[in-house]
A and B are shown apart, each in its own frame.
Chain A
Amino acid sequence: AQSVAQPEDQVNVAEGNPLTVKCTYSVSGNPYLFWYVQYPNRGLQFLLKYITGDNLVKGSYGFEAEFNKSQTSFHLKKPSALVSDSALYFCAVRDGRNTPLVFGKGTRLSVIA
């Protein structure tokens, strides 16, 4: 069975500092990994994905994520946080065998000016 863990319910970071939102996963086959962002009372917006290839994936709004197979992690990062990055972030995984995405419970990011 597929599963995703986001170990932090809340991450606080000062504006201009680097940010990391953590995600670990469990799948039986090769993972397909995704990050989404949600602003209040809105749908989810796609940020980036890892399918194959380079372990460092670059996405929208300056975000990037590093796939680490040995640690089964896919942490979301940004070199310099903005107040406008404050939102709810979801990690998701599927094992590519015609199965739906499984989402983590989300991490609320708060960037303080």
Chain B
Amino acid sequence: DGGITQSPKYLFRKEGQNVTLSCEQNLNHDAMYWYRQDPGQGLRLIYYSQIVNDFQKGDIAEGYSVSREKKESFPLTVTSAQKNPTAFYLCASSNELGGLAGHEQFFGPGTRLTVL
């Protein structure tokens, strides 16, 4: 997990509240990603950003929002519009300058979000 930190490790939210999950990397990577993991469903892409001040929706972006104001930071907000937010959230980064696709992604340790 080295180089990417996610906080908090565990997060509890009441229904109707927005929460923000933190992701910071010190690897000088251009690209950052947010995934959601549910049992038996693998990893599903929420949002990704290949450069500062730009990001794209993934497969399940509804109910989520992101920002990329700094290269090292890519926070994810889970809004009250997300109908079933209880899941394990993983942040990742990779070096993709120039469109290089062969570099592996490095993952953070994850945040487990539970809606009460």
The distance from the CB of B6 to the nearest CB of chain A, in whole angstroms, is 8
Give the complex CA separation of A41 and B107 in angstroms: 12
Whether the Cβ atoms of B105 and A103 lie closer than 8 Å is no
**In the complex, chain B residues whose CB is within 8 Å of the CB of A49:** 102, 104
CB closest residue in chain A, given B10: A41
The distance from the CB of A84 to the nearest CB of chain B, in whole angstroms, is 18
Give the complex CA separation of A97 and B99 in angstroms: 7
**B90 interface hit (Cβ, 8 Å):** yes
**In the complex, chain B residues whose CB is within 8 Å of the CB of A96:** 101-102
Whether the Cβ atoms of A90 and B42 lie closer than 8 Å is yes
Give chain A's interface residue range (CB within 8 Å of chain B): 20 to 34
Give the complex CA separation of A79 and B88 in angstroms: 32
The distance from the CB of A106 to the nearest CB of chain B, in whole angstroms, is 5
**In the complex, chain A residues whose CB is within 8 Å of the CB of B48:** 100
Most buried by A among B41, B43, B92, B99: B43
The distance from the CB of B1 to the nearest CB of chain A, in whole angstroms, is 5
Q: List 23 A-B contacts (CB under 8 A).
A: A32-B101, A34-B105, A36-B107, A42-B1, A42-B109, A43-B1, A43-B4, A43-B109, A43-B110, A44-B90, A49-B104, A90-B42, A94-B101, A96-B102, A98-B96, A98-B99, A100-B48, A100-B58, A101-B105, A103-B43, A104-B42, A105-B40, A105-B42
Q: Which residues in A have some Cβ–Cβ distance to B below 8 Å?
A: 9, 32, 34, 36, 41-46, 49, 51, 90, 94-101, 103-106
Q: A43-B4, A90-B43 are in contact. List 12 more A-B contacts (CB 8 A).
A: A9-B40, A34-B104, A36-B107, A42-B1, A42-B109, A42-B110, A44-B43, A46-B104, A46-B106, A98-B96, A100-B45, A106-B42
